[in-house]
């Protein structure tokens, strides 16, 4: 009897564990570094990818409209409120060259609770368990985590020494199990902006091989030094196989409001609605109203912020130059990141711990982005006030030099 009790409780124990699938998903790195920062007051964070500015005032003004209509406290349309959809469709046409209503290749806009959710919607809509999704390394960790959670396999293709796309390697990596190729430009974590020609090449490979091209444009407004953002969804004939993802989080200082959207081929609309209806029912309506206010102000709001970020970026680059031969800093004309390649055998998390404890500065270890061979660090400057930049990056450069040369 005693044995029976013991085996029952062992059985219960085994039954109440997390799924095998989730056990293989990497743990998010941002909270780990966040905890380190909290435990060391005075640390300057070059960690999380956020901007320092709030949403435009017009976003808050729209909340009064929301409050004035009691009907809006009820569930609203799964794919977004009409006022916001209209603004998004006009923006897509005028800024991105994507005519959602084009008669020959009709597409749909679905408002989501942020760009991450848009990616998960896209993934669940196009892939079955065991399917392959091609990511570029370094990848955005939440993309890789979502793929593992969906029981799919992330197939990794390296970018070149400047973190630019390698369309030849992408073409080679496609198998009969491949469902999508994912690209991000401007890129997190590298800050690389992909050229129009390389994005056209990848989009054409996807069309010819019958796989989707999922392109994340969360940082579309964040370009510097004349770099141009390009939307592959604007390519003639791309409408059936291109999924474009957007976010208000960075552009409008909207991270906690959780609003983004996806532009999808019409034939995926029903599938995406099933997913979103199950997970979210509808994107938070109060946030959608705030988004209406922000998008009425439009891209000019973000572009003004990007102008001041451009001088922050210059400062970061000149401080990083002091790293000399300790690190390679590939060019980064977009987003608000640099992705450093360090000349050391030290594991990146160990290096970050020492930077925090001994030098009062934090960055994100590169292995979280899939760079497991070699030592890499992501440096984010989006949230830095110009006053803090020189100090923060100065500490980083001094810290890396001291640690690597010891
Ligand atoms: C490439 C990329 N896509 C999506 C997101 C997440 O955006 P959201 O806050 O809209 O979910 C991020 C956030 O860092 C990102 O870097």
Average pLDDT across the chain, whole number:
94
pLDDT confidence tier of residue 13, bands split at 50, 70 and 90: low
The structure tokens listed for 218 are 């969360």
Supply the DSSP symbol for 368: G
In the chain, % of residues over pLDDT 90: 86
- Taking the CA of residue 260 as reference, the ligand 1 atom at the shortest distance is 10
Tell me how far the alpha carbon of residue 366 lies from the centroid of ligand 1, in angstroms.
17
Tell me how far the alpha carbon of residue 247 lies from the centroid of ligand 1, in angstroms.
7
pLDDT attached to residue 14: 65
| Residue located nearest, by CA, to atom 14 of ligand 1 | 49
pLDDT attached to residue 386: 78
Tell me how far the alpha carbon of residue 343 lies from the centroid of ligand 1, in angstroms.
29
User: How do residues 178-213 score in pLDDT, each as one tens digit?
Assistant: 999 999 999 999 999 999 999 999 999 999 999 999
pLDDT attached to residue 3: 60
User: How do residues 92-123 score in pLDDT, each as one tens digit?
Assistant: 999 999 999 987 889 999 999 999 999 999 99
Is the distance from CB of 368 to CB of 26 less than 8 angstroms?
yes
From 50, 145, 247, give the residue whose CB has the most ligand 1 atoms within 8 Å, as the site to mutate: 247
User: How do residues 79-99 score in pLDDT, each as one tens digit?
Assistant: 999 999 999 999 999 999 999
pLDDT attached to residue 27: 84
Tell me how far the alpha carbon of residue 119 lies from the centroid of ligand 1, in angstroms.
9
Taking residue 198's Cβ as centre, other Cβ atoms within 10 Å add up to: 18
Is the distance from CB of 123 to CB of 262 less than 8 angstroms?
no
Is the distance from CB of 96 to CB of 233 less than 8 angstroms?
yes
SS3 content of the chain, % helix, strand, coil (to 5): 50, 15, 35
From 115, 117, 183, 255, give the residue whose CB has the most ligand 1 atoms within 8 Å, as the site to mutate: 115
pLDDT attached to residue 100: 94
∠ CA 247-249-251, nearest 5°, is 80
Pairing verdict, β 178-184 and 212-216:
parallel
User: Mean pLDDT across the stretch 150-168?
Assistant: 97
User: Mean pLDDT across the stretch 3-25?
Assistant: 76
pLDDT at 4 over 70: no
DSSP codes of every residue in 195-252: -HHHHHHHHHHHHHHT-EEEEE-TTTT-B-TT-----GGGSTT-TTTEEEEEESTTTT
- Taking the CA of residue 114 as reference, the ligand 1 atom at the shortest distance is 10
User: 383: closest CA among 65, 94, 54?
Assistant: 54
Query: What is the number of residues in the chain?
Result: 406
Tell me how far the alpha carbon of residue 49 lies from the centroid of ligand 1, in angstroms.
9
pLDDT attached to residue 384: 83
Is the distance from CB of 265 to CB of 102 less than 8 angstroms?
no
pLDDT attached to residue 401: 93
pLDDT attached to residue 389: 83
Order of strands across the sheet with 212-216? 107-112, 260-265, 242-247, 212-216, 178-184, 132-137, 153-158
User: How do residues 215-253 score in pLDDT, each as one tens digit?
Assistant: 999 999 999 999 999 999 999 999 999 999 999 999 999
Tell me which residues have their CB closer than 6 angstroms to ligand 1: 49, 114-116, 140, 184, 188, 216, 218, 247, 249, 255, 260
pTM for the whole structure: 0.95
User: How do residues 283-326 score in pLDDT, each as one tens digit?
Assistant: 999 999 999 999 999 999 999 999 999 999 999 999 999 898 99
> For residues 33 and 172, what is the distance between their CA atoms, to the nearest angstrom?
36
């Amino acid at each position: 009897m005693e044995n029976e009790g013991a085996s029952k409780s062992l059985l219960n124990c085994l039954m109440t564990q997390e799924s095998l699938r989730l056990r293989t998903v990497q743990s998010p790195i941002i909270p780990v570094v966040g905890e380190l920062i909290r435990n060391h007051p005075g640390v300057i964070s070059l960690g999380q990818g956020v901007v320092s500015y709030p949403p435009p005032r017009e976003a808050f003004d729209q909340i009064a409209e929301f409050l004035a209509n009691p009907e809006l406290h009820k569930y609203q349309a799964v794919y977004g409120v009409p006022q916001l959809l209209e603004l998004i469709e006009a923006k897509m046409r005028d800024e991105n060259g994507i005519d959602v209503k084009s008669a020959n290749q009709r597409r749909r806009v679905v408002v989501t609770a942020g760009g991450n959710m848009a990616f998960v919607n896209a993934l669940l809509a196009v892939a079955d368990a065991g399917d392959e999704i091609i990511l570029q390394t370094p990848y955005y960790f939440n993309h890789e985590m979502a793929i593992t959670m969906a029981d799919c396999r992330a197939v990794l293709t390296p970018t070149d020494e400047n973190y630019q796309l390698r369309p030849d390697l992408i073409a080679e990596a496609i198998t009969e199990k491949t469902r999508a190729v994912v690209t991000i430009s401007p890129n997190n974590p590298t800050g690389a902006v992909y050229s129009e020609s390389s994005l056209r090449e990848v989009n054409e490979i996807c069309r010819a091989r019958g796989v989707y091209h999922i392109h994340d444009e969360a940082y579309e407004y964040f370009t510097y030094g004349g770099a141009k953002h390009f939307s592959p969804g604007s390519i003639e004939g791309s409408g059936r196989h291109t999924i474009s993802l957007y976010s208000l989080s960075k552009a409008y200082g909207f991270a906690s409001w959780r609003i983004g959207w996806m532009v999808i081929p019409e034939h995926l609309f029903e599938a995406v609605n099933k997913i979103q209806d199950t997970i979210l029912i509808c994107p938070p309506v109060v946030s959608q109203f705030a988004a209406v206010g922000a998008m009425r102000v439009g891209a000019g709001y973000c572009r003004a912020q990007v102008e001041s970020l451009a001088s922050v970026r210059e400062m970061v680059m000149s401080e990083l130059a002091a790293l000399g031969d300790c690190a390679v800093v590939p060019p980064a004309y977009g987003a608000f990141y640099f992705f450093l390649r360090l000349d050391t055998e030290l594991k990146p998390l160990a290096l970050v711990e020492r930077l925090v404890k001994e030098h009062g500065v934090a960055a994100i270890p590169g292995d979280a982005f899939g760079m497991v061979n070699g030592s890499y660090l992501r440096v984010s400057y989006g949230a830095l006030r110009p006053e803090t930049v020189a100090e923060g990056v100065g500490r980083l450069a001094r810290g890396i030099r001291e640690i690597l040369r010891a």
